[in-house]
């Protein structure tokens, strides 16, 4: 079979030069950039699905491979078995900002593949064979050369294709502007791509391989439990699967240019996680089946999360740990990178209001359940974790109370006179202090100031003092105390419960002193003494120190 001489020998890339110079400075992330190329493969598959199945039969699946290698000449490749680029589409495919004729698919603006390839590399080739056409075409982009020599037309290399069942596109990126992902970056890339294309992976119509590793769709296990109308317990012992499907219409914010245009609709599925997980909670916004916003929750990443306060509450709410779901926003607009929704005026507010209403409808108001439900992990793994925590605490307490001359720490029995307040060291300009006032407490006839300070010189974790002239009480927590350094610095989420316990101890002491109990501070002083020693350290740190010293 001979090469068709009537096919174009060159492709025009006008008005490409200025854009090609701009593309490397765009603010892509690796998964969004590679996602633009994946989108082109999916678009090709969707447009020619009937022909692909007619040629290969019902077992055909879209296969996309992403391979990268480091070393002296790092490269990235994307290979698909979609329908390739047809002769009639060559001009559009290689010229920036020429959108596809069919704008019902996942490709919209005609810029994604070119811009992402230029962001990643100074040199790349696109080799393609269209389904049913006898020619393999290769176009080479040498970006510095194109810009320097103001090249507006690129040669097309052509060769004969023999096997009709071999078709698709291969993109090879070289002279990279961005590093090849390795270790944690590679894991993050895989997680994001799995999350972004979860719907195609779930149906099985897409096989995605990254460095020969097949990617599986992230799955969600819904909570199965009785309804908790309050945090005091369930209404009965009947189990429900806590997930809701809904559809809302944005008629309130609808202000169309064409009066005949219908109000957009959003369909969704939102539920409660079987096991709370702050990394997994959040909403994913799918546009034509691709996650364009909120992919971070199923990628176990703190980036690209969509957790609006109207649905998820404050930073420490139970909803933020438990609520997860997906919204189909295909009838809305997205950015040119397809990495966020472009909300028209009033749309997002209406969406969140109506979703909240849908989730709180009877039967089984989902958000109320997410807020009130209290889980007890009685699984084998949960019991093992609890046993491990108990062992750690007991080991630490044993060291503090027995091995380290407990009588010197506790006195003989409960001799209150042996526990005395160590004066607070003078504060300097380097002592950071953050305060919050609890306004007039009727029982004490005064305000309480809760403050957190950073003062290494102070050996006390918690202090309580009265300022008679100002008629105020002050409760001070020292964040530089060894106990705080061990248990809250590495895990900021643990600071809130520690502050609450400290506040409770402080208020209890103020209550006692206000009622005439001169020894009301004994408990706090004893706690300070205990926490200053072995109870201030994690067991794993203690064991490591012993091993090193042994």
Residue-level pLDDT at 22: 82
Cis peptide before 15 (omega within 30 of 0): yes
Residue-level pLDDT at 521: 85
* CATH code for the part of the protein at 224-251+264-372: 3.30.230
Of the two residues 173 and 22, the one the predictor is more confident about is: 173
> DSSP letters of 34-46?
HHHHHHHHHHHHH
Residue-level pLDDT at 514: 79
Specify burial of residue 548 (Cβ count, 10 A radius: 0-12, 13-18, 19+). Answer: exposed
* Model confidence pLDDT, tens digit, residues 449-468: 888 888 989 989 999 998 87
* Model confidence pLDDT, tens digit, residues 209-240: 999 999 999 999 999 999 999 877 888 889 99
Its CATH class, for the domain covering 10-214, is alpha beta
The whole-chain average pLDDT of the chain stands at 84
Q: Could you tell me if 20 and 147 are in contact, meaning their C-beta atoms sit under 8 angstroms apart? A: yes
- Kind of pairing, strands 62-69 and 75-80? antiparallel
Model's pTM, two decimal places? 0.72
Is residue 330 scored above 70 in pLDDT? yes
Residue-level pLDDT at 368: 95
Residues in a beta bridge with 224: 241
Q: Which two tokens stand for residue 478?
A: 């020292």
Is residue 173 scored above 60 in pLDDT? yes
Nearest to 181 by CA among 102, 259, 69: 69
Apex CA 64: angle with CA 60 and CA 65, to 5°?
130
Q: Could you tell me if 185 and 303 are in contact, meaning their C-beta atoms sit under 8 angstroms apart? A: no
* Model confidence pLDDT, tens digit, residues 59-108: 999 999 999 998 889 999 999 999 999 998 888 887 766 666 666 777 76
Residue-level pLDDT at 540: 42
Residue-level pLDDT at 397: 53
Residues in a beta bridge with 214: 209
At residue 472, φ and ψ (nearest 5 deg) are -135, 155
- Kind of pairing, strands 282-287 and 323-328? parallel
Of the two residues 373 and 531, the one the predictor is more confident about is: 373
- Range with lowest mean pLDDT among 9-18, 220-229, 322-331, 347-356: 9-18
Q: How many residues in total does the chain contain? A: 550
Residue-level pLDDT at 52: 98
- Kind of pairing, strands 341-342 and 333-334? antiparallel
User: Tokens 């290979």 label which residue?
Assistant: 79
Segment 394-404 shows an average pLDDT of 54
Q: Could you tell me if 437 and 431 are in contact, meaning their C-beta atoms sit under 8 angstroms apart? A: no
CA 266, CA 283: separation in Å to the nearest integer?
13
Nearest to 482 by CA among 521, 463, 455, 504: 455
Helix (H) or strand (E) holding 327: strand 323-328
Segment 253-271 shows an average pLDDT of 93
Q: Which two tokens stand for residue 444?
A: 């004490």
Kindly tell me the sign of the dihedral angle through the C-alpha atoms of 525, 528, 529, 530.
positive
Sequence ranges of the domains in the chain: 10-214, 224-251+264-372, 405-532
- Kind of pairing, strands 265-272 and 243-249? antiparallel
Percent of the chain with pLDDT over 90: 50
- Range with lowest mean pLDDT among 235-244, 372-381, 467-476, 540-549: 540-549
């Amino acid at each position: 079979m001979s090469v068709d001489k009537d096919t174009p020998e060159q492709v025009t890339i006008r008005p490409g030069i200025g854009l090609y110079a701009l593309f490397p400075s765009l603010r892509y992330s690796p998964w969004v950039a590679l996602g633009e190329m994946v989108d082109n493969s999916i678009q090709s598959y969707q447009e020619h699905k009937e022909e692909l199945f007619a040629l290969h039969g019902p077992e055909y699946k879209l296969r996309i491979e992403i391979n990268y290698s480091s070393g002296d000449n790092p490269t990235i490749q994307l290979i698909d078995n979609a329908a390739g680029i047809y002769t009639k589409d060559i001009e559009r495919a290689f010229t920036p900002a020429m959108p596809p004729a069919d704008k019902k698919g996942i490709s919209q603006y005609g810029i994604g593949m070119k811009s992402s390839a230029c962001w990643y590399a100074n040199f790349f080739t696109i080799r393609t064979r269209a389904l049913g056409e006898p020619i393999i075409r290769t176009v080479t982009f040498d970006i510095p050369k194109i810009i320097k020599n103001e090249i507006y037309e690129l040669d097309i290399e052509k060769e004969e294709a023999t096997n009709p069942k071999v078709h698709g596109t291969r993109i090879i990126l070289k002279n990279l502007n961005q590093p090849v992902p390795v270790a944690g970056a590679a894991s993050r890339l895989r997680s994001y791509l799995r999350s972004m294309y979860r719907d195609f992976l779930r149906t099985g119509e897409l096989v995605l391989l990254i460095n020969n590793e097949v990617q599986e769709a992230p799955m969600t296990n819904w909570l199965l439990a009785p309804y908790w109308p309050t945090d005091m317990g369930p209404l009965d012992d009947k189990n429900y699967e806590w997930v809701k499907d809904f559809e809302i219409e944005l008629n309130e914010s609808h202000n169309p240019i064409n009066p005949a245009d219908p109000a957009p609709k959003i369909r969704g599925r939102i539920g409660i996680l079987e096991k709370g997980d702050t990394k997994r909670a959040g909403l994913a916004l799918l546009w034509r089946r691709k996650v364009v916003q909120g992919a971070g929750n199923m990628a176990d990443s703190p980036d690209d999360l969509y957790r609006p306060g109207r649905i998820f509450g404050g930073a420490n709410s139970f909803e933020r740990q438990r609520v997860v779901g997906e919204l189909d926003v295909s009838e809305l607009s997205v950015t040119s990178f397809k990495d966020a929704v472009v909300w028209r005026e009033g749309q997002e507010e209406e969406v969140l209001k109506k979703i909240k209403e849908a989730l709180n409808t009877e039967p089984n108001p989902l958000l109320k359940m997410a807020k009130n439900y209290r889980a007890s992990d009685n699984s084998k793994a949960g019991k093992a974790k609890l046993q491990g925590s108990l062992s750690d605490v007991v080991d630490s307490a044993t060291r503090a109370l027995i091995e380290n001359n407990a009588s010197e720490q506790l006195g003989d029995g409960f001799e209150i006179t042996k526990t005395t307040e160590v004066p607070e060291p003078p504060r300097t300009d380097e002592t950071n202090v953050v305060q919050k006032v609890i306004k007039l407490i009727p029982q004490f006839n005064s305000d309480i100031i809760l403050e957190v300070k950073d003062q290494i010189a102070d050996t006390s974790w918690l202090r309580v003092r009265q300022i008679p002239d100002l008629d105020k009480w002050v409760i001070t927590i020292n964040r530089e105390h060894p106990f705080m350094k061990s248990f809250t610095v590495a895990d900021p989420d643990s600071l809130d419960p520690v502050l609450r316990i400290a506040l409770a101890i402080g208020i209890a002491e103020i209550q006692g002193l206000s009622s005439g109990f001169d020894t009301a501070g004994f408990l706090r002083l004893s706690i300070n003494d205990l926490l200053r020693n072995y109870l201030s350290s994690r067991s794993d740190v203690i064991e490591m120190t012993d091993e090193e010293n042994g």
